Amino acid sequence: MAITNDNCSCGAKVVVFTGDDVKHTSFLCDGFQVICAEDLNTEKANYYSLFRCSECGEPTAEAVPTVVNFLHPTFIGKNHGDA
Ligand SMILES: [Zn+2]
């Protein structure tokens, strides 16, 4: 699906893989994988997914917009276009 550069709410740079771009089959069941931006293009990118931000400790599912939108797509523009 996508490889997205994003930031945690604290400003830490992360990269989010979704769908077919998830690096490791372990994370396919979640449908997404989050890594530190500095680990992109390294071996490490294949073997972990951040459950919590390495900087602030917030859950990535709550603090990284790409992950929030992935998990809660109906929240996007929920009221957009309402009369
Ligand atoms: Zn953070």
- Whether 50 maps to a domain, the answer reads yes
Structural domain that includes position 43: 2-74
Q: How many domains does the chain fold into?
A: 1
What was the pLDDT predicted at 26? Answer: 85
pLDDT given at position 50: 96
Q: Is residue 80 part of a domain?
A: no
79 alpha carbon to ligand 1 midpoint, in Å? 28
Q: Please answer whether residues 35 and 14 qualify as being in contact, where contact means their C-beta atoms are separated by less than 8 angstroms.
A: yes
**Is residue 60 domain-resident?**
yes
pTM for the whole thing?
0.84
pLDDT digits (tens, 9 = 90+) for 17-70: 999 999 988 888 889 999 999 999 999 999 999 999 999 999 999 999 999 999
Q: Is 83 part of a structural domain of the chain?
A: no
Q: Which pLDDT score is estimated for 76?
A: 53
| Residues in Cβ contact with 67 at an 8 Å cutoff, skipping those fewer than 6 apart | 6, 16, 32, 34, 60, 61
Residues whose beta carbons lie less than 5 angstroms from ion ligand 1: 8, 10, 12, 53, 55-56
81 within a domain of the structure (yes/no): no
60 Cα–ligand 1 center, Å = 8
Strand, coil or helix: 78: coil
